[in-house]
Chains A and B, each alone.
Chain A
Amino acid sequence: DAMVIQNPRYQVTQFGKPVTLSCSQTLNHNVMYWYQQKSSQAPKLLFHYYDKDFNNEADTPDNFQSRRPNTSFCFLDIRSPGLGDAAMYLCATSRGSNEGYEQYFGPGTRLTVT
């Protein structure tokens, strides 16, 4: 089945130690998103890619970076994790036209910062 895969499902990192979360998709969608979700709150968009075009949200901290080496993969890098970065990180994809296509979400990576 076509899907969005996130690895790892659970990640523990130390305060200040860089961490990378990965996302892959078999849907061949143009758009990939990264969201941060804390304690069952609304997912907060960090950034998205439309093909190779990177779109950063204005309030996303510089500590968060992303890479998309090809259509299938997208990475979230947290350069110096703080305790406040502990959250569920959700990757999502959608088709790449402005016709109201829904998003397909991965299962998420739960990040713990110690």
Chain B
Amino acid sequence: AQSVAQPEDQVNVAEGNPLTVKCTYSVSGNPYLFWYVQYPNRGLQFLLKYITGDNLVKGSYGFEAEFNKSQTSFHLKKPSALVSDSALYFCAVRDNPTGGFKTIFGAGTRLFVKA
């Protein structure tokens, strides 16, 4: 069975500092990994994904994530945080090929960026 864990309910960072939001996963096959962001009273918005290839993937709004197979992690990073990055972030995983189209979402990490 596939699962994903986001160990931090909340991450606080000062504007201009680097940020990391952690994610670990468990799948039986090869993982498809995703990060989504959710602003208040809105749907989820896709940020980036890892399918195959380079372990470092770059996405929207200056975010990037590093796939680490040995640690089964896919941490979201940004070199310099903005106040506008404050939102709820979800890591998600699909198990390829056994998972079909089912995507499992983590519990979410709330990011607060302080000016």
Contact = CB atoms under 8 A, between A and B. Distances in A.
A94 B38 CA distance: 18
A110 B41 contact: yes
A48 to B, nearest CB: 6
Given A55-B101, A100-B49, A102-B49, A43 B106 contact: no
Contacts of A31: 101
Interface in A79-114: 90, 92, 94, 98-100, 102-108, 110
A90 B107 CA distance: 16
Nearest to A45: B102
A57 B105 CA distance: 15
A61 to B, nearest CB: 18
A54 interface: no
A33 B105 CA distance: 14
B45 interface: yes
Given A42-B107, A42-B108, A48-B101, A100 B94 contact: yes
B97 interface: yes
A46 to B, nearest CB: 11
B113 to A, nearest CB: 17
11 contacts: A4-B43, A41-B108, A43-B44, A48-B101, A57-B102, A102-B49, A103-B36, A103-B44, A103-B46, A104-B46, A110-B41
Given A43-B90, A92-B43, A103-B103, 14 more contacts: A40-B88, A41-B107, A42-B108, A45-B102, A92-B44, A94-B101, A98-B96, A98-B100, A100-B96, A102-B46, A103-B36, A105-B36, A105-B43, A107-B42
Interface of B: 32, 34, 36, 38, 41-46, 49, 51, 88, 90, 94, 96-97, 100-103, 105-108, 110
